[in-house]
Amino acid sequence: MSQENKKTFYITTPIYYPSGKFHIGTAYTTIVSDVIARYKRGRGFDVRFLTGMDEHGQKIEEKAIEAGKPPKVFVDEMAKMAKDLWKLLDITYDDFIQTTEERHELLMAKIFAKFVENGDIYKGEYEGWRCIPCETYYTEAQLVEGMCPDCNRAVKLIKEESYFFNMKKYADRLIQYYSDHPQFILPEFRKNEMMNNFLKPGLEDLSVSRMTFDWGVKVPNDPKHVIYVWVDALTNYITALGYGSDDEALFNRYWPADVQVVGKDIIRFHTIYWPIFLMALDLPLPKTVFAHGFFTVNGEKMSKSKGNVLCPEMLAKKYGVDAVRYTLLRELPFGQDGDVSPVAFVKRVNFDLANDLGNLLNRTVSMVNKYFDGVVPRYNGHVTEFDAELENFIVSTVEKVEANFERMHFSALLADIWALVSRTNKYIDETSPWILAKDEADREKLASVMTHLVESLRQIAILIEPFMPQTTPQVFAQLGITEEASKTWASLNQYETLTEEIKVVEKGTPIFPRLEVDEEIAYIKAQMGSVESSKEEEIKEVEEVPTIGIEDFMKIELKVGQIKACKQHPKADRLLVSQVDIGSETRQIVSGIAEHYKPEQLIGKKIVVVTNLKPVKLRGELSEGMVLAASAEGKLSLPEMIDDLPNGSIVK
């Protein structure tokens, strides 16, 4: 089929914040999108796959300053890091957009001007609570116990002139759209969340410009205002296609998007703001916005101070890209939250990949060599009593896989493919080729078994390609399959595609080496925590007080300490760095008390210290313990009346 006649398929990932190394959770969105893009290409679609970076806003400007670099230099370096990771993970994006590129900035400003021109954006005054990390403003009522409702961090009261987007105007239309298009938000429960939490209570107009910083696209004809990052970011999906430019060919070809994959944390932006912006531009809405769940590691959110950050780069370099792609897609039922751990990873590699798939390939290659000098016998229909059943199993697997692809049930779909792997291994046991080989009269049966094994593996290799793009060519190579027509999705369920004689390799090599379980788990654990966590996460870590029972309390070592020296943390306003004498030694302790005490007030003071807390680095400073302090309603005090006790005294 010529490119012109192909059905198009446009898929996007969210564009990433340039905030440091990616962990497996952040890489997941892009891996999933790549799986879908590869599958659709395999099914004959003209696919366009977009990803990129979301590079404006105060948070990013601050990070660049912290790194001592001009913002553009900083974001370009981060974009390069992202591209390197995507290359390593074999991500086949067609376009990578950075919101600081001219092609985006110009069109973005034009879109904003169009909103103003059409009367969708008006100028007013904004007063509200701002969460800097989330780049979001909230009304008092939206705060949860005075904190950001999304990330639970502190918010700041801001009053400023601002442009507003008239969201209310489109609310009813959007509600109607949701009910007319059941595929618009998937999984469906996310739609209910959006309806009940945001649309039904009534939409507020959205403040879409900022005056507090400079790093962004300026409002046309009013450059003291910078366009709100979410307006800037969301429009990337159409500016990347040249919408509003002199050449709208890509836009006309690919818009509306078929699937926009997002994490559950940003669904509101993609299913409320984004469709409303599109309605205001009089453009069709994406067919589906799919929100996936979040990964935890051993049940916990990933963060450096917890030492539980799983880094896709490290895993891919050590165990192979396909092991990472397979494990992530298999472990997390798409749409729900899920967990992955070093143990689960090593088990998946050993059992599913090395044992089930790897052994099947290895046994097949060595039997074809042993019984037929490496030449795969030609297909001859159903010869043994087990052939038809295996073929039927393949037919039903292909059906299930295709259906699950449409539903985006990747974990279930991989389980279906692995059921075929097991079924094929069972076929070897059922047909017992080593017994057939003993009797010349069974030669035809033996030939049929070899053909069916090779065929089953050929089809498995095609089915896994979207997930494991580096394994598929290895399987073909070991089986000696070179004909392109035998490698396509269209060749599934066909048994006579191998028109030329094929010869398996003389000696198969394991596609996935078996791992020493304990050794590899220890290795992965040692590597965890190597990703920089954000400033806010680290501070939050200091502030978090877990609930514990008395038996746990007894495990905590509390001692009287005396602050010998104290200074402001060089990189964090809220932190102080103290040298504390705890009797047996002097420890450096970082604490979030700078808003309440000046360093000079603390020198000489006796305090209570948790001394057996795992050391952490807070914004680059080692902290070997924690200072106890009481706080309420914004006030904070250190415990008093311990001045006459010697340093190192136990506190109970």
Report the interface residues with ligand MSP, using CB under 6 A.
Answer: 14-17, 25-26, 28-29, 54, 233-234, 262-263, 265-266, 294-295
- Cα 327 to Cα 349: distance, rounded to the nearest angstrom: 8
- Cα 431 to Cα 566: distance, rounded to the nearest angstrom: 77
Return the number of the residue (266 or 542) whose C-beta is nearest ligand MSP: 266
- Cβ at position 558, least distance to ligand MSP in Å: 34
Return the number of the residue (26 or 341) whose C-beta is nearest ligand MSP: 26
If you ran DSSP here, which 8-state letter would residue 255 be given? Answer: P
- Cβ at position 37, least distance to ligand MSP in Å: 16
- Cβ at position 22, least distance to ligand MSP in Å: 8
Return the number of the residue (14 or 625) whose C-beta is nearest ligand MSP: 14
- Cα 129 to Cα 134: distance, rounded to the nearest angstrom: 12
Is 186:225 a contact under the CB 8 Å cutoff?
A: no
Return the number of the residue (326 or 512) whose C-beta is nearest ligand MSP: 326
- Cα 412 to Cα 355: distance, rounded to the nearest angstrom: 20
If you ran DSSP here, which 8-state letter would residue 246 be given? Answer: S
- Cβ at position 266, least distance to ligand MSP in Å: 5
Return the number of the residue (238 or 463) whose C-beta is nearest ligand MSP: 238
Is 342:529 a contact under the CB 8 Å cutoff?
A: no
Task: Report the residue number whose CB is nearest to ligand MSP.
Answer: 263
β-sheet bridge partners, residue 263: 292
- Cα 575 to Cα 562: distance, rounded to the nearest angstrom: 18
Q: What is the dihedral of CA 263, 268, 274, 275, to 10 degrees?
A: 110
- Cα 35 to Cα 24: distance, rounded to the nearest angstrom: 15
- Cα 592 to Cα 183: distance, rounded to the nearest angstrom: 47
Return the number of the residue (17 or 418) whose C-beta is nearest ligand MSP: 17
What three-state secondary structure class fits 262? strand
Return the number of the residue (49 or 495) whose C-beta is nearest ligand MSP: 49
CA dist 70 → 62, 63, 83, 534 (Å): 10, 10, 20, 19
Tokens encoding 25: 């959770």
- Cβ at position 272, least distance to ligand MSP in Å: 13
Strands annotated E in 487-557:
none
Instruction: Give the helix ranges, DSSP H, for 442-495.
Output: 443-464, 471-479
Tokens encoding 27: 């890489």
Long-range Cβ pairs for the range 456-459 (8 Å, 24+): 456/390, 456/394, 456/420, 456/424, 456/427, 457/360, 457/361, 457/364, 457/424, 458/486, 458/498, 459/394, 459/398, 459/420, 459/492, 459/493
Return the number of the residue (25 or 128) whose C-beta is nearest ligand MSP: 25
Tokens encoding 642: 């311990």
Return the number of the residue (240 or 461) whose C-beta is nearest ligand MSP: 240
- Cβ at position 426, least distance to ligand MSP in Å: 35
- Cβ at position 530, least distance to ligand MSP in Å: 16
Residues with Cβ within 8 Å of 209's Cβ and at least 6 positions away in sequence, in order, are: 162, 163, 219, 222, 225, 226, 227, 228
Return the number of the residue (192 or 336) whose C-beta is nearest ligand MSP: 336
- Cβ at position 351, least distance to ligand MSP in Å: 24
Q: Tell me the three-class secondary structure of 164-219, residue by residue.
A: EECCHHHHHHHHHHHHHCCCCEECHHHHHHHHHHHHCCCCCCEECEECCCCCCCEE
- Cβ at position 629, least distance to ligand MSP in Å: 31
Return the number of the residue (39 or 277) whose C-beta is nearest ligand MSP: 277
- Cβ at position 295, least distance to ligand MSP in Å: 4
Return the number of the residue (26 or 162) whose C-beta is nearest ligand MSP: 26
Nearest to 492 by CA among 410, 444, 420: 420
- Cβ at position 314, least distance to ligand MSP in Å: 16
Residues with Cβ within 8 Å of 43's Cβ and at least 6 positions away in sequence, in order, are: 489
β-sheet bridge partners, residue 607: 561
- Cβ at position 300, least distance to ligand MSP in Å: 11
Return the number of the residue (60 or 454) whose C-beta is nearest ligand MSP: 60
- Cβ at position 132, least distance to ligand MSP in Å: 14
- Cβ at position 537, least distance to ligand MSP in Å: 12
